[in-house]
Amino acid sequence: MDAPTTTGFGAFVRDARELVVQPRMGFGPPRRMRRGLRATRDADATSVGTLTLDSYTRVGDLAAARRAVTEGTDLNGYPLLTHGPAATRRMLRGIGGPGFPVQVRHGSAAPQDIVRGLLAAGLHATEGGPVSYCLPYSRTPLAEAVHHWTRACELLAEARGPGPEPHLESFGGCMMGQLCPPGLLVALSLLEGMFFVRHGLRSISLSYAQQTDPVQDEEAVRALRALAAELLPGVDWHIVVYTYMGVYPRTPSGARALQDRAVALAVRAGARRLIVKTTVEARRIPTVAENVAALETSARTARALPRPDRAAADDGRDTQVYAEARALVEAVLCLGPDIGRGLLTAFGRGWLDVPYCLHPDNAGRSAGFIDERGRLGWSSVGAMPIGHVVTPRPAAALTSSGLLDALHYVETRLDLGELAGTGAHREPAPAGS
Amino acid sequence: MQTTAPGTAGPTPGAPATGLDVVVTGTSSDAHTWNLIYLELLLTEWGHRVSVLGACVPEELVVTEALACRPDLVVVGSVNGHGAADGLRLIAAIRAEPRLAALPVVIGGKLGTAEDTARAALPRLRAAGFTGVFEESAGTAPFRRYLDTLTAGVCR
Ligand code: B12
């Protein structure tokens, strides 16, 4: 990894001496948000902070966000634009800074105002992407999202000054949260990263969300690293792993076991940062304490793992995931130097096609399945140009119970792990909140 | 917990072969779609004809679609924590349209950011005009019973 930048989110992660852990935390009231960020900073872990924005701000419905704040209704995140820059600076005072960078996580296909808002509040790091924050998150046409995200990248890049280097993370490694074969996730993350760089970013991160099989996941993170090393020269980049983003185990020990697997994936495959999940993920928004527990448990697990063997870890090319990702990336890059246009053409032709995505600009001809070893594979590749590296395995028509089985594959196995072990118990209902 | 009108529950033996025309939709702020895909499959298997509006559907679009397609039922799914607030807005928009005053509209999912706030919202949603409110912990059985009753009424 090259290191052209000096301070900021990317530099903090690059210079960290252990795996950096981060929550997916967001609360409506500034006081509660401040308490959450302070607790994240003070956790026994190398941590960075998160401001996850609420769904009204994400879809640009600021009137609804305002009403919720005025009426004191619960929001599922921090309404950055409603509280405004002055209140947000106050909320962050003495907490956010070089020793504890804070990232804004949102989910908007038209993020210009959010980017302006976070810059005005003194922040420099955020995430998303023209595809990953459009197809699973909105009904905005993809062409508009590409246009909005071009502008958002430029706004971030223009904010570069003597202070922290602006940082942008691709959410491309998460499409729909679950049941997307890893080759496509790796390709989308990489392509969005290249899009960010073309539009002025110098410090970026590429994501990969843990899926159903630990070995396949490791192949995916290695493939992503190999492709980034090749295609992002001179850029400050790192890999961030998301703890499982699909239907989560309901039992505390099932949840912890899944978290442990994500930590092991990040450490073994050489990711630098991990977004954690809590033991109440399946049910509700976690409290500050539940977030801190997840951060500390993950940090402890990471410290106990042996450091990966660098020499062995550095090759990620000899795998199925790499072959698929490489074919998809090459197909899009062949469409010309403008990556945004390339992405549009590719989705238009079905060269990129995300399974189970309802967005009108997604072809919807691909489908995935979980094979007998637990790996994600293709039952149909649609028009994606990976026919030479994949033999799709046609599947029976999807039924509601078949879909639930696939969505609950990870959850069931890890929850059963608890039931098979000693002291099976469900978490008691939380008192109060 | 299910809060459809009491006295109407109970599966209908020998339910009619013709199903309902159903529109399945998310709420304006909710991006989650796996629940909608699941509901589509489930309703289709139960013999109904389904159209899915997708993620982040503005209230006006639900109203326009309901006027254009004249469905027998609108099913709203929400899990992002804003379901109660978004649901209230949506049902107000639907009931404000006189031609949709009697349209059966139900909502289900994870309707608040905490289990107890979700539960507290159920009576308010019903009072605001939802025909049925299905909180996730109750599973699909009450929803199935509701549909059987509705089918018996509509497809005589
Ligand atoms: C996958 C997922 C995502 C994906 C969704 C991709 C997509 N397009 O669908 C992504 C990553 C994009 C995502 C984003 C967000 N998510 Co999310 N997500 C999940 C997750 C992990 C699984 C959901 C799922 O796929 N379930 C499978 C489907 C089939 O089941 P279901 O949705 O649970 O619905 C069941 C029932 O509720 C019921 N049901 C649902 N609707 C209806 C309707 C009727 C009429 C009936 C009868 C039944 C019914 O039937 C289903 C089957 O049993 C859940 C947590 C979990 N469960 O593990 C969080 C979760 C739902 N997400 C949550 C949140 C808050 C968000 C975000 C705001 C980000 C954040 N702060 O974390 C954004 C939302 C953006 C927005 N604008 O809405 C929260 C909601 C909390 C709450 N209710 O208070 C959860 C619970 C996670 C958490 N603990 O914080 N998410």
The nearest alpha carbon in chain A to B115 belongs to: A284
| Rounded mean pLDDT for each run of 10 residues along chain A, 433 residues in total | 69 97 97 98 98 97 97 94 98 94 98 98 98 96 98 98 96 98 98 98 98 97 97 97 98 96 97 98 95 98 87 77 98 98 98 97 97 96 97 92 97 83 40 36
Quick: pLDDT tens for A117-132. Answer: 999 999 999 999 999 9
Which of B:38-67 have CB within 8 Å of A?
38, 41-42, 45, 52, 54-57
> Residue A295: its pLDDT value, please?
98
* Share above pLDDT 90 across residues of chain B, in percent, rounded to a whole number: 74
**B130 domain residue, yes or no:** yes
Is 70 exceeded by the pLDDT of residue B142?
yes
Probe target for ligand 1 pocket from B32, B35, B73, with the most ligand atoms within 8 Å of CB: B32
**A146 domain residue, yes or no:** yes
**B106 close to B74: Cβ distance less than 8 angstroms:** yes
Shortest Cα distance, chain B CAs vs residue A403, angstroms: 7
Which of B:17-36 have CB within 8 Å of A?
28-31, 33-34, 36
Structural tokens at position A248: 């989560």
Range of the domain at B69: 33-73+82-106+126-136+147-156
Neighbours of B6 (CB within 10 A): 7
**A159 domain residue, yes or no:** yes
**A141 domain residue, yes or no:** yes
Residue A241 to residue A260: CA distance in whole angstroms: 12
Query: For residue A49, what is the domain's CATH number?
Result: 3.20.20.240
| Cα dihedral A346→A350→A355→A359 (10° resolution) | 80
Quick: pLDDT tens for B1-41. Answer: 333 333 333 334 444 457 999 999 999 999 999 999 999 99
**B49 domain residue, yes or no:** yes
Quick: pLDDT tens for B52-62. Answer: 999 999 999 99
**A402 domain residue, yes or no:** no
Query: What does the radius of gyration of chain B's CA atoms come to, in whole angstroms?
Result: 14
**A372 domain residue, yes or no:** no
**B43 domain residue, yes or no:** yes
The pLDDT confidence band at residue B135, using thresholds 50, 70 and 90, is confident
The nearest alpha carbon in chain A to B33 belongs to: A358
**A336 domain residue, yes or no:** no
Give the distance (Å) from ligand 1 centre to CA of residue A197.
Answer: 32
Question: What residue owns the CA closest to ligand 1's atom 49?
Answer: B109
- What is the tally of structural domains in chain A? 1
Quick: pLDDT tens for A266-281. Answer: 999 999 999 999 999 9
Give the distance (Å) from ligand 1 centre to CA of residue A144.
Answer: 25
- What is the tally of structural domains in chain B? 1
> Residue A307: its pLDDT value, please?
82
Quick: pLDDT tens for B67-113. Answer: 999 999 999 999 999 999 999 999 999 999 999 999 999 999 999 88
Mean residue pLDDT of chain B comes to 88
- The phi, psi pair for B136, rounded to 5°, reads -60, -35
Range of the domain at A75: 9-313
ipTM, two decimals: 0.92
Q: In A, which residues are within 8 Å of B29 by CB distance? A: 55-56, 58-59, 61, 64
**B95 domain residue, yes or no:** yes
Residue A385 amino acid letter: P
Residue B40 to residue B34: CA distance in whole angstroms: 10
Task: List C-alpha distances in Å: A421 to A177, A253, A297, A417, A425.
Answer: 28, 10, 20, 6, 10
> Residue B17: its pLDDT value, please?
52
Compute the Cα dihedral for A179, A182, A184, A185 and give only its sign.
positive
**A214 domain residue, yes or no:** yes
**Nearest CB partner across the interface for A76, out of B38, B56, B81:** B81
**B4 domain residue, yes or no:** no
**A137 domain residue, yes or no:** yes
> Residue B8: its pLDDT value, please?
33
